[in-house]
Structure 1
Amino acid sequence: MSLKQSKPIDRLYHEVANYDLVIVPDSPLADALNRRLERPHFGPFAITPRRLATRRRETAEDRTAFLEVIDETDLSWKEIAYTVGNVLQCWEYRGRADAIFEYGAFDTPATRTVVDIVSSLQTSSRLLADYEIDVDSGESVAVVGESQLTNLERSILPDEYDSIDRFTADAFDLPAFRIFESPAAIVDAILDTVTQDNADEIAIVLDSSSEYSPLIESALETAAIPYYGGPGFMDDRDHRAFVQLLRCTTAGSDTRVHSVKPLLSCLGATVPIEHDGKRLTDVDDSEIGWLREFIGRADALTFEATLNAYEDRAGRTLETFREELARLGVLEEPITTDAIDRLAFYLETYEVPIDRDNEGVLLADAKSASFVDRPVVCYLGLDEDWTHDSPNRPWVDRNEEYERNVDGFQSLLQSGVEQQYLVQDAAGGTAVTPCLYFDELLETEFERFSDLESIHHSRSDRSTGDGFDREPLDAPVDPERVETVSQSSLNTYANSPRDYCFGRLVDTPDKHYFVDGNLFHDFAEFVVNHPEFVDDGRLEDAAAVMVEETRAFHRRIDLETQRTRYRIGLETICDYLEEHAPTETTFLTPSSGWGENFFAEYFDRDVDSPVTERWFEDDDLRLKGKIDLVQSPTRLVDFKSGNRTSATQVTKHGSIDEPSDEPNFQALCYLSYWRRQQPDESLEFTFFHFLETLDDVVAGDATLEDCLTTLTYRPIAFDEFVQTRTVFDELREDAANDCNKTFSKADYETYLAVLDAYDVPRTRDADEMADSPFGEALVERLVDDVGDYKYVRNGCVQAFRHLCGYRKEGYFVEDLDAFERFVDEQLEELNRYRRGEDRFPIDGRAGEPNYRYVDTRDMLLTDSRATRGTAQNTHTEGAPAADPADSEGHR
């Protein structure tokens, strides 16, 4: 792998040392040459065209021009920024400010106004346009990297000068790419190398908008290693927090606590995570009382008053921000949404200059630098985000711009005496695409870094002594084994083991559907204990108190809708429990209760029925959970506030052999436990979706049956069950028409003969059963016995559907046996991960996680570039996994 050899800085200096003036394309190269100057020199030696013309450090002239134009015109800030950018860019590429008028689409009144104003300012472009290098005195001039100068920069060059190429005719062999597993691993490798003593010798080149930037900055800060060139004006936490405070004043009453957490943190306020999803105005917490009161008087605030209030609360002054507001002329403006939007646009568009201490590690932006003068240079990422976006304007020669960027890129890659290329080969299972300039520079065909010369670094490498050592713990940690698991934890683990892991490590905020579900469950338990107590008046009281308990989660405009929803849900629970009151409760031992019951406290009555909220933990089964209602010795009921799912969907999502991306093992878990309490009994497990008929209740035609999904457990093997006379009779009487007709003309002995000769496949797919030896033999036998009629063959197809229906809507002995073995396997695998023998994987049993059911989405860095800045929980209202009854700790 080779590039054009860039001249080392010392060699380049010796080539230009005897010239009086050296023009270079960028400031870092100029500074590097000036530091090597070995003779007295009057005036500038190595310098960029703009610094030569202005005699000052280069400034962001687009920001300067913008500030001037907003003072002199009534144009909108966005139009000004757009127009100023076009004018200055065209000036740069064409050499004249008025050249933009040659392009009809850009010759507008706003453009002419901006050109008039900008042309009269002492910007670097104006000074550069008026400047000429005077060589009458006999000064010798050299130009280094002339092709990287723009037309406006070239306009100052004299008629006679020497052009010095930055590259030689030799090839530069790229060092091997060092491939790491993650950005965090790359940062760890940097910290193994950088110390406070050698910080001034090291530069780090990265895409400043990538995840590497905040990672490396925080890592260096933690290690107390000085650095510069990194965070900008809006990276200051107080500056970001102040803008957020401005946003709060106009955000309205629906502002949630989680959206102001950074502001509260910056002000030293700590609010429990449980409040994150609640409306700020409805949270009674002393830590945010000041903010609520401040927002309450937002109508009378100006930018200056808001800044004063922030400074008083934070105990810090924001002088640079105050100066910037004054420069924009908004200090005395009242706080409005439009004014805040204008300020935010300005801060996002322009980088406000700040004073820096130029000490320590140099952080250089890959898209801004073409040279770094440090002995050791580390390049982070080198991916497609390093590619420049060439301006899409008619005055820009895209090919020339591309060549300029390629030259700058290969020059940058050769900076320093020692180069280290630290990259990822894949992120989230997807190959990382190297910077597109490598396609131009390398003859080798490649798609990812591992296709090129590379060295892989893994976690185990950190003990090899190759700069990746870690200090061992004083004593090994023996993690506590997980001996039992709830169905909700099993669901989460099956969807994504890593989400399960993080779910045990971090707290999550309260969600309205959890609070709703808890209250509904408490009400159901209360009704079972006091059915005669709950009349229409108390139903209304219960709905009203639920509104109050959940008020912080809902917009004010939605509260009446929620009241109706709660009232209908409570009524439906009462109707169900009236028709299906628990029976034969004497076989249960008294229950000591599981947690507290909200409505028992509210109505001042006890709940002590043995049939409600029964907690179990079976060490042999390694399962635990809470049964909402034991309706009878053979029937369990679970209350659900989410959308109804059919029995077929439940068995599909609980399948062991064919993993689902919506795993749901609740029915399997509870039936496995209950069959040990009621051995050799047929059992039923019913999901009662009490909000399923919400619309039907409003329309007046609701039925309880539409709320129920019931699964059966038969204490017999499936292949034995299908041989029973009961099944044969159902095929004759209760199946579809052609099936009934066909089997009514066959005898039971014929049916048994086929079953004796062939095994019935354990499948839920009728087509698969039809194609099996059993299916083919049954069709052949019935055709022989009944006749080769179309209805006979169709009747057999219907029979296969009927037989598969038993397994689609319930379970048999082998199903629960397989589930119990599955639980053991999953717990052993889980404990292996807990011991550190391998990492908790992101992908679950069905492959990529179903992110609708992931609780810690921001922690699953499947593709760091795609997920950066995305820190949100992806549960949705009504999603099955969000039902509070799916969590053993929902109180």
Structure 2
Amino acid sequence: MSITRAKSLDTLYTDCKDFDLVLVPDAPLASALNRHLDKPHFGPFAITPRRLAAQRREAAEDRLAFLEVIEQTALSWKEASYVVGNILQCWEYQGTVDAILEYEAFDTPATRTAVECIADMDTTSRRLTEYEIDAEPSVAVVGYQQFTELERSILPAEYETIDPFTDEAFDHPPFRILDSPAAIVDTLLETVTTDNADEVGVVLDASSNYSALVESALEAADIPYYGGPGFTDESDHRAFLQLLRSAHAGDETPVSDVRPVLTQLGLSIGIEHDEKRLVDLDDPAAEWLLEFRHGISTTTFDAAIDAYEDITDSQLDAFRDELATLGILDDYVTEAAVDRLEFYLRTYDVPMDRENDGVLLADAKSAAHVDRPIVFYLGVDEDWTHSSPRRPWVDSDQEFERNIRQFQLLLQNGVDQYYLVQDTAGGTPVTPCLYFEKLFDESFERFSDLESISYSRTSRSSQDGFETEAIDVSTDSVELISQSSLSSYVNSPRDYFYSRLVDGPDKDHFVEGNLFHDFAEFYVAHPDVVTEDELDAVADVMLEEVEPFLRRVDRDVRRTEYRLGLQTIVEYLDENPPQGTAFLTADGGWGENFFAEYYDRPVETPHTECWFENDEISLKGKLDLVHGPTQLLDYKSGAKKSAYSVVKNSALDPPSDTPNFQALLYLAHYRTEQPDEELQFTFFHFLETLDELVAGDASLDDCLTTVSYYPCSYEAYIQRPAVFTELQEDAANDCNKTFSKVGYETYQAVLEAEAFPATRDSDELIASSFGQALIERMQEVVGDYKYVRNGCEQALRHLLRIRTQNYFTDDVDAFEAFVEDRLAELNARRDGDERFPVEGAGGEPNYRYVDHRDCLLEEGSR
């Protein structure tokens, strides 16, 4: 089977012109045929059954019936909507208003009440039921299969049917595959202008994201259009509803939830406050909204509209009229009343006065005819498929045939048709409209399986309309990079790029972390000021700073965490005070300290918050604590990680999926300050032992993770006698037993004879030539015992742990080269050599660690 060719309007008019009356299934087709009239005609020529019977423009009778029922009966709004929808639908399919009562499951008191009410209304369906066409006129029916039982009820005894289809197949144009909805809309705008807008129709799923994209794009280009946004899509109407809803949202509402309302009201609050609770925000811009919220339960809808109009300098006359129609204009704005109003506006289309000029936006599930010479079809995906009503009065097979006929007619509108589609979205294939399964004699899963042409916005030639003019703009190159920026860039260059452009909100853990860091710095400078009793006051002031982010139920728990975390920091610094004088060549400071201001005391120590900019290796950063000549420390409020995890996350080839280069970067810098020294970097997870502190059994050692840097290669390090001693004394039992029976020379001879492999996998190491040589040599010297082989395998794992938990000269050298490569790459992209890609050096980014997820399009969506 294939798409059946529809008759052209000229052919259809020729078939119909000799009849006195022509009934058609939809109004646009009627208008098109009437425009073809070439001689005067008395009365209607082409017309829909409803328009003929009503003698007026068709109205949305479901809304009118609902309004009548809620006014005349005691039914709730949702119950009234449900039974009204069923009654009108059954009436349409069965031909009488009370046909629904023949179905036992629907013969309810509510349904009978609504039937009595609707039967007395002057509805189009009632006029259609009572209407009879005079026997004298000759009548033609175009597309008889498209008519419902109620529409067919007006047909006279004699009439002619005209099939809108021919016997030929429609050779449809290819599907034009573009990268994204934005690319599809851009392609549309390359064709549409203010001069040709009246010649263009756009068919789309009105509920899809194409609808909003097309409308906003046309508005931005000052191109007129109609048939698109509805009553609740009006910006002031939408903002007013959001205002009413936000007024009942409760005290836990964050600023981000009400930002659209604030923006529409003309109130500005910085994005850094997005995650703070509105009621705790000390900002003049929030005062109006908080005052409105405070008195909402005793405010009428009319008064609420007045308040909105006053602050926005707008007029909501249409909204006020609709509330009056509903009979709730003078009702109080309770939460239940807002629920009812939102339900009504989601369920029914409120009529609007529109200018019928410009681009015609048509819903793919409504009309079958679009009377424009150029028609664009956007999406054409599975959402274009009708959902047939699941009711006993609906013949599903007949309904499917009606819908597929309408779909075939829809695809053939205009002289030129353009099917603009996506092949994938978010990496997942886009399923074409399910009617194609019935129409095409071939299997497919996506548009590229059908006759299609792929377009790429980056590869279009100038005649395709995508040529861009190069702009010569000089850019400052990035000379230094921090550990956080490097980690972000390696995970996803595109996310790093957006972090340079887009501000983000403050977060509670950022604020908490900064306060803990400031306290630790202050305590190093003034340990005498903060007594044991003073820690309670410090915890209180920290809670006060973080309170806007917290739910009330969480505050006592957080305050306890702060108090115990402060206690742990004090205990560690008391037992391990910084040693020596300044060890770093610091370039500049790092800003203010909260507790220095709180206690009105300066914080000037050579050990804390040491900022550095190292031009030699292109690195910059801030060291929390220079604990001693060879010891660095960083405070962490998050969960503790092992030394193995720290080193693994700083892997370079390939990078880890959770890249973090903090320890490696700081050690790389510090070795330029302390060359040829063994260095240590310690993460102090001061919240790690909260449970143990409560139980009275905490150990500071459980808070510490230390990685070391050795100023030699790994191979040179494991040849040290001290490492051999570890194998004799500190490794697993069989290893100690085996190596205690040999001398250092035996161990050294194996290391000199065989190269240690580059692997970091223990099984690969054991199976390597080095591993097998060690096992064979030890079996020769000690004996071919089971414990010897096991001891050698334990020794190899011990040696591998040294590699995977520490850094060596070759590791840091490789890191410095890696940094230079990334900076060269980054600056080339800043200069415009290529776009910042989503994928980083390690491939697909770890989306858990991106900050601007909504800005990143995956490979299939670009």
Tell me, yes or no, whether TM beats 0.5. Answer: yes
Q: Structure 1 residues 511, 168: closer, same or farther in 2, change over 3 A?
A: same
Name the structure 2 match of 1:348: 346
3-state secondary structure, aligned to 1:515: helix
Letter in 2 for 1:851: Y
**1:863 Cα shift?**
9.2
Contact 2:296 2:334 (8 Å CA) reproduced: no
CA distance in 2, matches of 1:74, 1:581: 77
Q: Report what 2:550 is aligned to.
A: 554
Taking the TM superposition and a 5 Å limit, the aligned residue runs for 1:463-502 are 463-470=461-468, 472=469, 475-502=471-498
Q: 1:369: which partner in 2? A: 367
Q: 1:536 aligns with which of 532, 553, 557?
A: 532
Is the CA contact (8 Å cut-off) linking 1:33 and 1:46 kept in structure 2?
Answer: yes
Q: Go from structure 1 to structure 2 and tell me whether the alpha carbon gap of 1:65 and 1:635 turns closer, same or farther (over 3 Å shift).
A: same
The offset of 1:102, in angstroms, is 4.1
Deviation larger for 457-466 or 301-310: 457-466
1:493/1:160 Cα in 2 relative to 1: closer, same or farther (>3 Å)?
same
1:172 aligns with 2:170: yes
Contact 2:584/2:673, CA 8 A, preserved across alignment: no
Residue 82 of structure 2 is matched in structure 1 by 82
The match for 1:879 is none
2:796 partner letter: F
Asked whether the 8 Å contact 1:199–1:227 carries over to 2, the reply is: yes
Distance 1:443 1:838 in 2: 43
> 1:885 matched to which residue of 2?
none
Assess, with a 3 A threshold, how the Cα gap between structure 1 residues 480 and 432 changes in structure 2: closer, same or farther: farther
Q: Measured at CA, do residues 417 and 704 of structure 1 come closer, stay the same or move farther in structure 2, by a change above 3 Å? A: same
Cα deviations by residue, 1:482-516 (Å, 9 ceiling, x for unpaired) = 22211111111122211111111111111111111
Tell me the residue number matched to 1:329: 327
TM-fit CA distance, 1:223 = 1.1
DSSP-derived class of the 2:684 partner: strand
Distance (whole Å) between structure 2 residues aligned to residue 614 and residue 581 of structure 1: 16
Aligned to 1:674: 670
Return the match for 1:655 from 651, 676, 693: 651
Question: Structure 1: which amino acid aligns with 2:108?
Answer: T
1:367 partner letter: K
Report the alpha carbon displacement of residue 126 of structure 1 after superposing the two structures with TM.
2.6
Match of 1:624?
620
* Per-residue deviation, residues 640-668 of structure 1 (Å, max 9, x unmatched): 11121111221222211243222111111
Among candidates 724, 728, 732, match of residue 732 of structure 1: 728
Residue in 1 that maps onto 2:214: 216
Separation in structure 2 between the aligned mates of residue 862 and residue 303 of structure 1, nearest angstrom = 45
Q: Is the 8 A contact 1:427 1:863 kept in 2?
A: no
Does the Cα contact within 8 Å between 2:428 and 2:860 map onto a contact in 1?
no
* Paired amino acid for 2:356: N
Q: What is the CA distance between 1:534 and its match in structure 2? A: 0.9
User: Cα deviation per residue 1:576-596 (whole Å; 9 max; x = unaligned)?
Assistant: 111111101244457753111
Give the CA deviation at 1:415: 0.4
Residue of 790, 801, 807 corresponding to 2:803: 807
What runs of 5+ residues in structure 1 fail to find an aligned partner?
868-891
Q: Distance in 2 between matches of 1:635 and 1:731?
A: 26
Query: What secondary structure, in the 3-state scheme, does the structure 2 residue paired with 1:170 have?
Result: strand
In structure 1, the partner of 2:336 is: 338
Kindly report which structure 2 residues correspond to 1:654-733, keeping only aligned pairs within 5 A, or say none. 654-733=650-729
1:617 touches 1:624 (CA, 8 Å); kept in 2? yes
TM-superposed CA distance for 1:308, in Å, is: 1.4
How far the C-alpha of 1:755 sits from its partner, in A, is 2.0
Asked whether the 8 Å contact 1:544–1:563 carries over to 2, the reply is yes
Question: Structure 1 residues 67-76 or 639-648, which shifts more?
Answer: 67-76
Structure 1 segment 246-325 matched on structure 2, within 5 A: 246-325=244-323
Report the alpha carbon displacement of residue 111 of structure 1 after superposing the two structures with TM.
2.6
What displacement does 1:37 show? 1.8
Q: 1:124 matched to which residue of 2?
A: 124
1:411 to 404, 409, 432: 409
Q: Distance between the aligned counterparts of 1:864 and 1:75, measured in 2? A: 50
In structure 1, give the amino acid aligned to 2:23. I
Alignment of 1:813-852 (within 5 A): 813-852=809-848
1:518 counterpart residue number: 514
- Give the alignment partner of residue 453 of structure 1, picking from 440, 451, 472: 451
Contact (CA 8 Å) 2:424, 2:860: kept in 1 or not?
no
Q: Write the distance in 2 (CA, Å) between the matches of 1:667 and 1:722.
A: 22
Give the counterpart letter for 1:768 in structure 2.
Answer: E
How far 1:155 sits from its partner (Å)? 2.1
Q: CA 1:828 to 1:383, structure 2 compared with 1: closer, same or farther past 3 Å?
A: farther
CA distance in 1, matches of 2:94, 2:778: 89
- Secondary structure of the residue aligned to 1:585 is coil
The one-letter amino acid of 1:105's match is A
| Counterpart contact for 2:179–2:860, Cα < 8 Å | no
Which segment drifts farther, 238-247 or 147-156? 147-156
Counterpart check, 1:66 vs 2:66: yes
CA distance in 2, matches of 1:84, 1:622: 71
Is the Cα contact below 8 Å between 2:492 and 2:840 reproduced in 1? yes
| Residues 1:551 and 1:262: Cα distance change in structure 2 (over 3 Å) | same
| Distance in 2, Cα, partners of 1:573 & 1:168 | 85
Give the partner amino acid of 2:579: T
Aligned ranges 1:232-247 → 2 under 5 Å: 232-247=230-245
State how far apart, in whole Å, the 1-side matches of 2:522 and 2:549 are: 24
What residue number does 1:394 align with? 392
Secondary structure in structure 2 of the residue aligned to 1:824: helix
- 1:20·1:141 contact (CA, 8 Å) conserved in 2? yes
Alignment of 1:731-770 (within 5 A): 731-770=727-766
Is contact 1:589-1:610 (8 Å) kept?
no
- TM, length-normalised to structure 2: 0.96
2: CA distance, partners of 1:362 / 1:231: 12
Q: Which amino acid aligns with 2:653?
A: D
> Corresponding residue for 1:29?
29
TM-score by length of 1: 0.93
Q: Counterpart amino acid of 1:77? A: W
Deviations 1:162-192 (A, max 9, x none): 1111111112211122222222222222222
Cα 1:312–1:459 shift into 2, 3 Å: same
Structure 1 residues 202-251: Cα deviation after superposition (integer angstroms, max 9, x where no partner): 11111112221111111111111111111111111111111111112211
Per-residue CA deviations over 1:843-876 (Å, capped at 9, x if unaligned) read 33444332222211221233999x9xxxxxxxxx
What is the Cα deviation at residue 196 of structure 1?
1.0
Question: Which ranges of structure 2 fall in alignment gaps of 5 or more residues?
Answer: none
Residues 832, 82 of structure 1: CA spacing in aligned structure 2 closer, same or farther, 3 A cutoff? farther
C-alpha distance in 1 between matches for 2:790 and 2:692: 37
Distance 2:271 2:458 in 1: 36
Question: Can you list the C-alpha shifts for 1:493-544, whole angstroms capped at 9, x where unaligned?
Answer: 1222111111111111111111111111111111111111111343222222
Do the aligned residues in 2 keep the contact of 1:590 with 1:610 (CA within 8 Å)? no
The RMSD of aligned alpha carbons is 2.1
* 2:742 and 2:782 in contact (8 A); partners too: yes
- Residue 5 of structure 1 is matched in structure 2 by 5
Query: Quick one: distance in 2 between partners of 1:702 and 1:596?
Result: 33
Give the letter aligned to residue 108 of structure 1: T
Choose which of 432, 439, 442 in structure 2 pairs with 1:434.
Answer: 432
**Deviation by residue 1:714-751 (Cα, 9 ceiling, x = unmatched):** 12211222222211211111011122122222333332
Residue 47 of structure 1 is matched in structure 2 by 47
Q: What are the within-5 Å matches in structure 2 for residues 102-113 of structure 1?
A: 102-113=102-113
TM-superposed CA distance for 1:388, in Å, is 1.8
CA shift in 2, pair 1:80/1:757, >3 Å:
farther
C-alpha separation in 1, matches of 2:731 and 2:467: 70
Partner of 1:134: 134
The equivalent residue for 2:191 is 193
How far apart are residue 555 of structure 1 and its match? 2.2
1:750 alignment partner AA: T
Contact 1:22-1:144 within 8 A present in 2 as well: yes
Do 2:586 and 2:611's aligned partners in 1 also have CA atoms closer than 8 Å? no
Q: Secondary structure at the match of 2:653?
A: coil
8 Å CA contact 1:432, 1:448 repeated in 2? yes
1:622 shift after superposition? 1.6
- Partner-residue secondary structure (3-state), 1:19: coil
Q: Is the 8 A contact 1:193 1:467 kept in 2?
A: no
